[in-house]
Homo-oligomer: A and B are copies of this chain.
Amino acid sequence: MTGSLTVVGLGPGNPDQMTPEALAAVTASTDFFGYFPYIDRLNLRADQHRHASDNREELVRAKAALEMAAKGGKVCVVSGGDPGVFAMAAAVCEAIDDGPAEWRDIELSVVPGVTAMLAVAAKAGAPLGHDFCAISLSNNLKPWAIIEKRLVAAATAGFVMAFYNPISKARPHQLDEAFDILRAHLPGSVPVIFGRAAGRPDEAIRIVPLAEAEGEMADMATCVIVGTAETRLIERTDKRPIVYSPRFLRESFQ
């Protein structure tokens, strides 16, 4: 008997930003695989089982979840944010692609969620208001040269950028390197948003010009959004400024 595997996005952390579809998928599952803090967010029943593991264990975790589903389990793999954005959905697909043929018979579903850049953008205004891209700054799975190439391509073609995995203890210098690369291609006035725990009680949103952006303004849980030359700041009295990227393009940019 083949079971099911559902990869669920829990959203950015605030329970009010988790969809009813995600909640229903959690309620219907019996075994939960994921990174500790995501599993900790769930209010599991006594008949539901935790299989929490550490960060950077994605492929091992995906295989364990698939093995249990192949035996008939109702398995749930959880991610923060959206599972398809630098999260568990791709790891599960990689494991299926390389795994035994019977894993392809598992009833696989992916439940989308609000990914970090959308939650951070909402707090700032509308910085992703025109064409944008999402880049993981981690070079654990791809060479730094490719990341550099993508940063330059995005900056010169006018994409707003959202950085996931901007920094970690093992990679303390890459965000500063990324800012240095961007400063060679974008005006120093371009707004940079550091968004941490958007929508949660410990939320911290900081907006600085690219000229002053520093790697130490971010940690592992920060999503960094870098505007374009078109991105604008609206100053307000007694309130954080609004950052937005207009939907239209000024003639001057053409």
Q: What's the minimum C-beta distance from A218 to chain B, rounded to whole angstroms?
A: 18
Q: Is A186 an interface position by the 8 A CB rule?
A: no
With most chain B CB atoms within 10 A of its CB, the pick from A125, A132, A245, A248 is A125
Q: Is A153 an interface position by the 8 A CB rule?
A: yes
Q: Is A94 an interface position by the 8 A CB rule?
A: yes
- Pull 19 A–B residue pairs with CB atoms less than 8 Å apart, ordered by A: A15-B20, A16-B21, A18-B20, A89-B244, A90-B245, A94-B246, A94-B247, A96-B234, A104-B234, A105-B237, A110-B125, A112-B119, A133-B154, A141-B248, A141-B249, A143-B254, A149-B157, A154-B157, A154-B159
- How many identical chains are in the complex? 2
Stretch at the interface among A32-40, A45-53, A78-86, A168-176: A78-86
Q: Is A212 an interface position by the 8 A CB rule?
A: no
**In the bound complex, how far is the Cα of B23 from the Cα of A18, in angstroms?**
12
Question: A19 touches which one: B18, B24, B244 (CB < 8 A)?
Answer: B18
1/0 per position for A228-254, CB-CB distance to B under 8 A? 000010111101001011111100011
Given A58-B247, A143-B249, list of 7 further CB < 8 A pairs? A9-B118, A19-B19, A82-B114, A97-B232, A108-B242, A110-B123, A112-B114
Q: Is the CB of B133 within 8 A of A132?
A: yes
Q: Is the CB of A86 within 8 A of B159?
A: no
Question: A131 touches which one: B89, B109, B121, B134 (CB < 8 A)?
Answer: B134
Closest to A129 in B: B90
A94 partner residues in chain B, CB cutoff 8 A: 244, 246-247
**In the bound complex, how far is the Cα of B186 from the Cα of A88, in angstroms?**
26
**In the bound complex, how far is the Cα of B128 from the Cα of A112, in angstroms?**
12
Closest to A133 in B: B133
Q: Is the CB of B96 within 8 A of A142?
A: no
Q: Is A145 an interface position by the 8 A CB rule?
A: yes
Q: Is A93 an interface position by the 8 A CB rule?
A: yes
A247 partner residues in chain B, CB cutoff 8 A: 58, 86, 90-91, 94, 141
A248 partner residues in chain B, CB cutoff 8 A: 141-142
Closest to A108 in B: B242
Q: Which of A11-29 contact B (CB under 8 A)?
A: 11, 14-21, 24
With most chain B CB atoms within 10 A of its CB, the pick from A9, A21, A111, A143 is A21
Q: What's the minimum C-beta distance from A248 to chain B, rounded to whole angstroms?
A: 4
Q: What's the minimum C-beta distance from A112 to chain B, rounded to whole angstroms?
A: 4
A253 partner residues in chain B, CB cutoff 8 A: 146
